[in-house]
Amino acid sequence: MSAGSGPTSDTTLPGDQEPHEADVSNAAPKPPPPTRRSSLTFHHLNTLSVVLTASGLVSAEDFAFVIFSIIYMYFISKVAFPPTSPHSEPPVFGENNRILGFYVLFAAVIGLFLPIAYIIEGVFEGDKEGIYAAAPHLFLLCSQVLMEGISFLGNFSLPIRVFVPVFYNSKRIFTILEWLRSEMSRGAEYGGSAGRLYTGRALAVANMGLCIAIQEFMTTRGGWGLWACMRYKIVYTVVLLSKKEKKMWLFSRKGASGFSATSTAEEVTEGIDGSGLTAVVTGASSGIGAETARVLALRGVHVIMAVRNLSAGHEAKEAIMKRVPNAKVDAMELDLSSMASVRKFASKFDSLGLPLNLLINNAGVMATPFIMLSKDNIEQQFATNHVGHFLLTNLMLATMKKTALESKQEGRIVNVSSRRHKFSYPEGIRFDKINDQSGYNSLSAYGQSKLANVLHSNELARLLKQEKVEITANSLHPGAIATNLFRHHSFVNGLVAALGKHVMKNVEQRPEFMALHPDVKGMTGKYYADCNLAETSLQAKDQELANNLWDFTCKLIDKCKV
């Protein structure tokens, strides 16, 4: 949604073309044209993007992605698209051109008047859900705003300015057409009037098409900044109010649970005594897992840190012991990409004779290349993020059931998923193409594995309910945090490590809330974000898909009994 909002190196502004030689000698110097003042400048828009992020309306993960993209684009622009010389010919479209005037009027109607009418009508009708459902990409505005500001100041060439918003969307859905298809087919996912839902979504699509297809053409052909299109972007931001997730509260307003995206783990577990509880936390040597282990230990829980690298696990354990001297923490080896390792871990845990109240399935990998198959020859992300946890849960259930029965305390299983579960392959789970390299996309595969986490939780919750077992199963989006998920991408992982600490949200709040907080008691088969109930994709609610995934995974592990 790039909005050619300032002069670029490969366009010519009206009046900027070189005068003909015959006119130069006789023409008297002309005074400079009056400065065109605008109520909306790059500084205002860039500030808006930062404020939106700080307020909690935009995730820090998305903000970090755009920052990384800008850094990347800056270097690419200097190499792949060096600035070209200004065009000497007059622009095709001047500011007084009728075609351009019609375009500006059309843009104002689509981007300003209709969205305002849409919002006002929805507010008066009380249909906030319909407004929320208009489109899920609030931050698309901010990604473009940041890039436009820098491209204007840095004189980037036009292809680079166009690329960032497209790149931002490709991170989510890989092609604009696929995004449009998925958005228009999601139905009344968030509720609200169907007419208002589709009207708002159509406005979003119209704005997207207008800005990408027409505006760049006009800017390139006409050399005009199209300031009118920039003026309506704040209104467009309101139309694009993001997905209906409880974390999207203005200025980090607290949700129904009393907590928000800015709540810390110690806040959400304050006053809770976990003494006598035993928890297994996978991926506990770093990131979410390490902080989850620390906070659970702080509350008196005996934590078993299930780690792929045992030496890293011992280091994480020592770090916890320094901060929580009385902590009960042990590290055990577990490689979730290997079914043999999962079975070995479960067998060793059983031999210890420990109870098990909490199972936090947290470990994961992201965006691995296809050549990295698991030790069981399964696509790495699906194997590690889903199959390994599925098998582990299956093997630990007997102990959890026994513990719940004897202790009269509710057992809890927490699957750490991601909002990226909404951006799986179009069919959701590619059962017959898990190992199909030709159609593999690393980010779609990651979304597939996270969708599997949600489906697993939902189906497990249903089966445990049927058994009348006092064990709940839920999934959650952990938020944007600095982890080593990108350990298979050294450059990206380095950027996350260097910059993530400055832009990422608190890491240690979501799994602990689900594991310990009394408000979650009895809640099962739910999806949470920022300690509040949140919406999943339609695919995550598909019972048939959940059943098929369960059967498919059982065949993979060749052992499955709840």
The domain spanning residue 304 has which CATH number? Answer: 3.40.50.720
Annotated catalytic residues are: 440
* Alpha carbon distance 344, 347 (integer Å): 5
Per-position DSSP letters for 412-424, written without gaps between them: EEEEE--GGGGGS
Per-position DSSP letters for 2-35, written without gaps between them: ----S--TT---TT-SPPPHHHHTTPPPPPPPPP
* Domain C-terminal end among 244, 267, 292: 244
316 and 352 inside one domain? yes
Nearest to 521 by CA among 471, 466, 464: 471
Structure tokens, 58: 């935009």
pLDDT of residue 16: 42
Residue 117 is assigned to a structural domain of this protein: yes
* Alpha carbon distance 343, 3 (integer Å): 55
**Distance in angstroms between the alpha carbons of the first and the last residue of the chain:** 49
Q: Would you say 532 and 247 are in contact if contact means Cβ atoms under 8 Å apart?
A: yes
Residue 371 is assigned to a structural domain of this protein: yes
H or E segment at 405? Answer: helix 388-407
The upper half-sphere exposure of residue 24, i.e. CA atoms within 13 Å in the direction of its Cβ, equals 5
Q: Would you say 211 and 229 are in contact if contact means Cβ atoms under 8 Å apart?
A: yes
* Alpha carbon distance 96, 452 (integer Å): 56
* Domain C-terminal end among 244, 266, 285: 244
223 and 115 inside one domain? yes
Amino acid (1-letter code) at residue 500: G
239 and 265 inside one domain? no
Q: Would you say 532 and 255 are in contact if contact means Cβ atoms under 8 Å apart?
A: yes
Amino acid (1-letter code) at residue 282: T
263 and 169 inside one domain? no
Residue 28 is assigned to a structural domain of this protein: no
390 and 521 inside one domain? yes
106 and 221 inside one domain? yes
Size of the chain in residues: 562
* Alpha carbon distance 122, 197 (integer Å): 10
Helices H, strands E: what count in the chain? 23, 8
Residue 17 is assigned to a structural domain of this protein: no
264 and 236 inside one domain? no
Q: Using alpha carbons only, how large is the chain's radius of gyration in Å? A: 27
Could you list the pLDDT tens digit for every one of the 562 residues in the chain? Answer: 333 333 333 433 333 444 444 444 454 555 544 444 444 444 544 555 565 556 554 556 656 665 666 665 566 555 554 555 555 555 444 556 676 566 667 666 765 567 667 666 766 766 655 555 443 344 444 455 455 445 544 544 444 444 444 444 444 433 444 445 555 554 444 455 666 666 766 665 565 555 544 444 544 444 334 433 433 343 333 333 333 333 333 334 567 787 876 678 888 889 999 999 999 999 999 888 999 999 999 999 999 999 999 999 999 999 999 999 999 999 999 999 999 999 999 999 999 999 999 999 999 988 788 877 899 999 999 999 999 999 999 999 999 999 999 999 999 999 999 988 988 898 999 999 999 988 888 888 999 999 999 999 999 999 999 999 999 999 999 865 544 444 444 444 444 444 344 334 444 457 999 999 999 999 999 999 888 898 898 899 999 999 999 999 999 998 555 5
Q: Would you say 405 and 524 are in contact if contact means Cβ atoms under 8 Å apart?
A: no
225 and 360 inside one domain? no
CB-based contacts of 57: which residues, under 8 Å, 6+ apart?
A: 138, 241, 242, 248, 250
Residue 459 is assigned to a structural domain of this protein: yes
Nearest to 523 by CA among 562, 478, 473: 473
Residue 2 is assigned to a structural domain of this protein: no
Residue 284 is assigned to a structural domain of this protein: yes
The 3-state DSSP class for residue 289 equals helix
Nearest to 556 by CA among 387, 432, 375: 387
- E-only strand ranges, 210-288: 278-282
**Which phi and psi angles does 280 have, rounded to 5°?**
-110, 125
Q: Which long-range contacts (CB under 8 A, 24 or more apart) does 148-151 make?
A: 148/2, 148/3, 148/5, 148/6, 148/42, 148/45, 149/42, 149/43, 149/45, 149/46, 150/70, 150/74, 151/6, 151/8
315 and 351 inside one domain? yes
Q: Would you say 184 and 201 are in contact if contact means Cβ atoms under 8 Å apart?
A: yes
* Alpha carbon distance 510, 385 (integer Å): 18
* Alpha carbon distance 376, 263 (integer Å): 40
367 and 506 inside one domain? yes
Boundaries of domain holding 447: 252-557
CA distances from 507 to 60, 263, 266, 300, 497 (A): 12, 10, 11, 20, 14
Residue 116 is assigned to a structural domain of this protein: yes
Our count of domains for the chain comes to 2
298 and 411 inside one domain? yes
120 and 222 inside one domain? yes
* Domain C-terminal end among 244, 273, 288: 244
H or E segment at 380? Answer: helix 380-381
Residue indicated by tokens 């598909």: 542
Nearest to 288 by CA among 171, 446, 414: 414
CB-based contacts of 404: which residues, under 8 Å, 6+ apart?
A: 357, 410, 411, 469, 470, 471
